[in-house]
Amino acid sequence: MALTDAEVKKLETKAERIRETIIEMLVAAGSGHTAGPLGMADIFTAFYFYILRHDPKRPDWVERDRLILSNGHIVPVRYAAMAHAGYFPVKECLTLRKFGSRLQGHPERLRLPGLETTSGPLGEGLSQASAMAYAFRMDHAKQRVFCLMSDGEQDEGSVWEAAMWAGKQKLANLTAVIDRNNIQIDGMTEDVMPLENLRAKYEAFNWHVLEVNGNDIRAFVAAVAEADAIYEKPVVIIAHTIPGKGVPEIEFDYHWHGKPPTKEEGKRFLKEIRTMNGKVPHEYA
């Protein structure tokens, strides 16, 4: 699964185009979350354009890998990645949060083919992913299950119930990814509810723990490859990301957890992203 330099560059460029789309859709919606989606653009790019076994033309393909988004509020990055991957037209991203749109503010499984679960209340995704992984193992199926969670979500007790059960069951076909961006809606995670030592906590529940720079696509892909090689326990990848990645003026600012840019801010943010990315053109005007 080792990436060539050319592949890394192509994925990095795709991630920046996805960031552009995120800004466009948030401005059009006038509501939504900014920091988390921008920070997770590299990871979603890695999944949809390199890691996952999936088919945008057959979103219900039985043999596809399952990607569970537990922290549903960052769904703009998933919509953007799916659109660029070919699940639906990129221009449809501009319908985010509109009445009747398939792209609601939190993912709704029955509205959009390709979504595995409906999520909104935090803390549920790991239980759902663990059950899927257990069922696949019962069926001797080869599908992999990935569960994306936020770090603030680790405050939920249900996360640890699922972690304990998955560890007991030794679900080696399950890989969780924690977006360790250190912010949540009320402030910095270590001020709101300290999480550390996060590694030691998961290890105590019989998980194999990896830590990686979540904004380094090559490093993240390598971590997933290592996770695939672990056969006796579930794996959690603690992915350290920069909230608001790509827009320096809002990076690490928790106030942008749940705030969208205005039209003028959007223009400025897009300019910053394009400047950093060599002025990659729009997917649409």
The per-residue pLDDT for range 182-201, each reduced to its tens digit, is: 999 999 999 999 999 999 99
What CATH number is associated with residue 138?
3.40.50.970
What percentage of the chain exceeds 70 in pLDDT?
96
pLDDT at residue 1, as a whole number: 56
Confidence grade of residue 281 (pLDDT, cut at 50, 70, 90): very low
Say if 127 falls within a structural domain: yes
Q: Which range of residues forms the domain containing residue 22? A: 5-276
Confidence grade of residue 278 (pLDDT, cut at 50, 70, 90): low
Say if 152 falls within a structural domain: yes
Say if 113 falls within a structural domain: yes
pLDDT at residue 283, as a whole number: 40
Say if 283 falls within a structural domain: no
Say if 240 falls within a structural domain: yes
pLDDT digits (tens, 9 = 90+) for 55-105: 999 999 999 999 999 999 999 999 999 999 999 999 999 999 999 999 999
pTM of the predicted protein model: 0.95
> Token match 């942008």: residue?
256
Mean pLDDT within 248-276: 94
Say if 282 falls within a structural domain: no
Q: Are 75 and 69 in contact (CB under 8 A)?
A: yes
Mean pLDDT within 159-177: 98
Extract the tokens encoding 48: 């949809």
Would you say residue 284 has pLDDT above 70?
no
The structural domain count of the chain equals 1
Say if 258 falls within a structural domain: yes
Q: Are 236 and 178 in contact (CB under 8 A)?
A: yes
| Amino acid at residue number 241 | T
> Token match 């859709």: residue?
25
